[in-house]
Amino acid sequence: MSISKSQLKIITSLSQKKYRQKHNLFIAEGVKVVNELINSNFIIDTLFCVDDFISDVSVDKIVVVSEVDLKKISNLKTPNKVLGLFQIPDEISIQNNGLIVVLDSLNDPGNLGTIIRLCDWFGVRQLICSKDTVDCFNQKVVQASMGSLTRVSVKYIDLESYLEAVHLPTFIADMDGENVYQTKLPKEAILVMGNEANGVSKKIIELVKNKISIPRFGQIQKTESLNVATATAVLLSEFKRSF
């Protein structure tokens, strides 16, 4: 079999959010990530795979393709046996318990993917993003999250309304915040991380009282702030280490 023109057109279009929304589909690639999605609640639309990709997916959803055809549709440097189209799941309601991570205007897909993976590791089930945060079904995010997207629920909403309404202690990661190592952190809480260049936006900072920071140990004050993904790693570790 080969890839039809209409299939090729759809696959290509899915690099753009508006077409992902129109077709209600997103792309995942590679044996590992695709298998994690297959074995989750995500619904398979079509798998385009070379003939030695083994799965027990029903045959009508599989299109066996040549290495050459797979390379045509792949966004990876080295395509890895399979490209899958999956349905974007229905939105589920926010779970306001446990530890929740909120992202304000995150731009970089690699950072979002890494943070989804961190949430998964540290048992955070709910990730809440401002509407202008990079889309979690962007293919770079899907690849960087390594399948963790199947275990972390990501919701895009208006952060101001959400933070005004929610009844959980809320902490903003902020360079001028209190030393996190000296802060008593509750088990149930919201952690707000900001944009790569500008941090958390002013209107959100005004809403939230608690600010925490990771102290700089390097002697020279020039050190650039930590990358948002590595800062999230340290802060999630601090929230979870005592429980």
Phi-psi sector, 181: left (phi>0), alpha (psi -120 to 50), beta: alpha
Minimal distance, residue 156 CB to a copy of itself, in Å? 22
Of 46 and 143, CB closest to a copy of itself = 143
Q: Contact between 217 and a copy of itself (CB under 8 A)? A: yes
| SS3 assignment, position 160 | helix
Of 46 and 150, CB closest to a copy of itself = 150
Helix (H) or strand (E) holding 11, with range, is helix 5-13
Distance from the first to the final alpha carbon of the chain: 54
| Separation CA 186–CA 139 (nearest Å) | 34
| SS3 assignment, position 16 | coil
| Separation CA 100–CA 170 (nearest Å) | 9
Q: Position of tokens 């393709």?
A: 65
Cα–Cα nearest to 15, from 90, 73, 57, 54: 73
Q: Contact between 148 and a copy of itself (CB under 8 A)? A: yes
| SS3 assignment, position 129 | strand
Phi-psi sector, 98: left (phi>0), alpha (psi -120 to 50), beta: left
Q: Find the binder of a copy of itself among 181, 188, 198, 203 (CB under 8 A).
A: 181
Minimal distance, residue 23 CB to a copy of itself, in Å? 28
- The full DSSP string for 33-71 is HHHHHHTSSPPEEEEEE-TT------GGGEEE--HHHHH
Q: Contact between 71 and a copy of itself (CB under 8 A)? A: no
Minimal distance, residue 100 CB to a copy of itself, in Å? 14
The count of residues interacting with a copy of itself (CB under 8 A) is 34
| SS3 assignment, position 6 | helix
Minimal distance, residue 29 CB to a copy of itself, in Å? 15
Stretch that binds a copy of itself, among 51-59, 131-139, 169-177, 218-226 (CB under 8 A): 218-226
Minimal distance, residue 146 CB to a copy of itself, in Å? 4
Q: Find the binder of a copy of itself among 77, 131, 184, 222 (CB under 8 A).
A: 222
Stretch that binds a copy of itself, among 17-25, 145-153, 155-163, 184-192 (CB under 8 A): 145-153
Q: Contact between 237 and a copy of itself (CB under 8 A)? A: yes
Q: Find the binder of a copy of itself among 118, 185, 192, 200 (CB under 8 A).
A: 118
Q: Find the binder of a copy of itself among 75, 121, 155, 183 (CB under 8 A).
A: 121
Backbone angles phi, psi at 141, to 5 degrees: -70, -45
Give residues in contact with a copy of itself (CB under 8 A): 36, 110, 114, 117-118, 120-123, 146-148, 151, 181, 214, 216-220, 222-224, 226-227, 229-231, 233-234, 237-238, 240-241
